[in-house]
Structure 1
């Protein structure tokens, strides 16, 4: 069993809140807001950004998908021990990545219970996600 999530709090997941906001915006606007699934984004960033632009209006600019490495060295992020900031500073764009999953059978019973409770909210949003153009 993995014990990586010993301090995991169910409130960190946010799917019930995301679903409630999604449903509220859909009711108020008469149309659902765009939803992007992170797996779709990491598998094909260009297609997903193009689909997002198509959904909300601005033109897709392929050149905006890459940039020069660098970053604001004065920015300090206490919450990640600087590792995320350093990784982002070295990045040159959004590139496809293989998602990394943990098998539920390898997770603690607590994580499996949270997964069961959150699954319905995730699937509700997943069914409404925008798809690559």
Structure 2
């Protein structure tokens, strides 16, 4: 989705601006930790001020919901227009389990997404809908956001972007090789037995958000 919006001629992209704060507070040792901490402010107040400053055109901010830690103030979020990308918890847990063996519900970001949605609202799109019909889903999303749909949102040149976070070499291999949205894969997720309870815990959050999807 970041590549899609980044292909619009009127849009500036910001990639995970709260990542450094998240690492600084949690102490987690993610790949590229030192580079991430050096690339962004670790004070959420500085990040919030930058993200809510006057901007020209469309200012697309890609956030990971789990980066919104409890101590981060929420009032500044009211200055933004929100859109929510959701995914079936079984697929999220299966994917997360491959890189972190014991994720928590907060790691998945469902409680944080629902908190923001309940407070501020905004259009919801399901990743499965995006992959099954990118153009129709993006047209609906643009309409909901008050934007004109741009055909450029459907394809892009492969490779890195200047706007990618410094963590891109560790996480964005598939993004860098992509030229558009991947085909939809209907295969069921392979969830480890010991994480099925996590899928069950996330399901109500997902279903409440999914009830509002475009």
Task: Give the structure-1-normalised TM-score.
Answer: 0.71
- Which residue of 1 is the match for residue 181 of structure 2? 94
CA deviation map 1:9-63 (0-9, x unaligned): 33211111211111111xxxxxx41011111112221111111001111111113
- 5 Å-filtered alignment, 1:73-112, equals 76-77=166-167, 82=169, 84-103=171-190, 107-109=192-194, 111-112=195-196
Aligned match of 1:49: 138
Unpaired stretches in structure 2, ≥5 consecutive residues: 1-93
Secondary structure of 2:147's counterpart equals: coil
Secondary structure of the structure 2 residue equivalent to 1:36: strand
Tell me how far 1:84 sits from its aligned partner. Answer: 4.1
Conserved 8 A contact 1:16-1:121: yes
Instruction: Give how far 1:120 is off.
Output: 1.0
Q: Does 1:6 align with 2:101?
A: yes
Quote the offset at 1:6 in angstroms. Answer: 2.5
Looking at secondary structure, tell me which structure has more strand per residue: 2
The answer to whether the 8 Å contact 1:15/1:122 transfers is: yes
Match of 1:17 among 112, 115, 120: 112
Residue aligned with 2:141, SS: helix
- Give per-residue Cα distances to partners, 1:57-112, cap 9 Å, x unaligned: 1111113322222324997427xxx36433322222224322443255xx223x12
Provide the C-alpha distance between the structure 2 equivalents of 1:21 and 1:99, rounded to a whole number of angstroms.
Answer: 29
**Match runs of 1:57-76 below 5 Å:** 57-72=146-161, 76=166
From the CA coordinates, give the structure whose radius of gyration is larger.
1
Return closer, same or farther for 1:93/1:103 CA change in 2, 3 Å cut-off: closer
Q: 2:172, 2:205 → 1: CA distance?
A: 31
CA RMSD of aligned residues (A): 2.8
Partner Cα distance (2:186, 2:171) in 1? 17
Residue 135 of structure 2: SS of its match in structure 1?
Answer: helix
TM-score under structure 2 normalisation?
Answer: 0.47
Distance, in Å, in 1 between the alignment partners of 2:156 and 2:189 is: 32
